[in-house]
Amino acid sequence: MYKYCVCGTFLITLPMCFGDLQKTKNFTYVIMTARFIAVVLMVTISSMRSYHRFQEEGAAQVLSTVKLWETDQFMAVFGNGVFLFAIHHYLPSMISPLEPQRKAPQVIATAFGISYVLILIVSATAMVAWGGEALECSQHPGGHFCQVQPLYNLNFVPLGWFGGSMAIFIASYPSMAIVNIPIAAITTRNTMAQWLGITLSGAENPYTFTNICMTLVVLVPPSVVALITKNVQVVIAYVGGYAGLTTAVLCPLVVLVKCRELLSLDEGELQVLRRPLKSAFGNKKGYTFVCLMYALALILVTKKLFIDPKAPAPHP
């Protein structure tokens, strides 16, 4: 069934990658609303379970079982962090460009702050709510719950609300990410074509040989990886630790430097021109700091994945 779902996702998203990105706005809004509702339900249900645990076992006993630090899970946390705070925030601007741009720093700080608080709430309630459960969940509504799973939505499969329909809705949360695939594929395809010097046809004639080949180059590799392994955390650790880190940290630096050179922002009158959106890292000290942090992160990632003998081996 899993492989059928992967193939189905590929066949659904492939035609969407040849359409007009702006025409998917309404569909994107609906899916984003559904995902937000699913997250709210997860937090609400886990909060209720946490409250019951506090009442039955006592707060001191419950909190004593919560693991606040576990080094063996460093790469899983790091990979997820790269995706959550460095990759996903590129997508909303493709749907709703920021206006007015002078408020960009405030909007970005608010968005990241809300996301961080939301993740803390989800993580804290999850650790408290499911810490005393069995290792594996029941596969039917009304069964027993389990400890936190690699995919958190699977913790809610035994939920019996509304005849199990609530469990199905929450369990389908990852599938709602399908709306992001065309956005990511289109932007990646266009960027690759520009770097390679390939001219792509516009939306009025999308099914050209070049468009089809470039789209398949973007979509096929991740689909093959999805067919090979079900271990999402291993994929996140490797992809987030290397490709994700490079895309999130190094690529923006290269773009910033090149754009400043093309616009001659460090020369003449433009050098002292006041720019509200100027990057705080748009100088040699900033470039050096970012490069050092990038190198340090790469060293830690490589050490944890390949050198540290205590790290658990990934399972395909």
- The pLDDT of residue 244: 76
- The pLDDT of residue 73: 66
Q: State both tokens at 42.
A: 């997860």
One-letter amino acid for residue 266 of the chain: D
- The pLDDT of residue 255: 80
Between 36 and 98, residue with greater pLDDT: 36
User: For the chain, how many residues are written?
Assistant: 316
To the nearest 10 degrees (0 to 180), the angle between helices 180-196 and 2-16 is 60
Residue 15 has pLDDT above 70, yes or no: yes
- The pLDDT of residue 94: 46
- The pLDDT of residue 125: 92
- The pLDDT of residue 170: 92
Residue 236 has pLDDT above 60, yes or no: yes
Tell me the pLDDT tens digit for each residue of 47-74. Answer: 999 999 999 888 888 888 887 777 666 6
Q: What residues does 23 pair with on adjacent strands?
A: none
Q: Are 215 and 18 in contact (CB under 8 A)?
A: yes
Burial of 250 (0-12, 13-18, 19+ CB in 10 A): middle
Cα–Cα distance measured from residue 68 to residue 82, given in angstroms and rounded to the nearest whole number: 20
Whether omega before 174 lies within 30 degrees of 0, making that bond cis, reads: no
Tell me the pLDDT tens digit for each residue of 161-202. Answer: 888 899 999 988 888 877 778 877 887 888 888 878 888 877
- The pLDDT of residue 45: 94
What's the pTM value of the predicted model, to 2 decimals?
Answer: 0.72
- The pLDDT of residue 46: 93
Tell me the pLDDT tens digit for each residue of 90-139. Answer: 544 444 566 777 777 787 788 788 888 888 899 899 989 988 777 788 88
Cα–Cα distance measured from residue 314 to residue 316, given in angstroms and rounded to the nearest whole number: 7
Cα–Cα distance measured from residue 15 to residue 8, given in angstroms and rounded to the nearest whole number: 12
Coil, helix or strand at residue 158? coil
Coil, helix or strand at residue 145? coil
Between 143 and 316, residue with greater pLDDT: 143
- The pLDDT of residue 196: 83
| pLDDT band per the 50, 70, 90 thresholds, residue 264 | confident
Q: What is the CA angle 203-209-211, rounded to 5? A: 40
Is the sign of the CA dihedral 262, 268, 269, 274 positive or negative?
A: positive
- The pLDDT of residue 121: 92
Cα radius of gyration (the chain) = 22
In 10 A of CB 210, how many CB atoms? 12
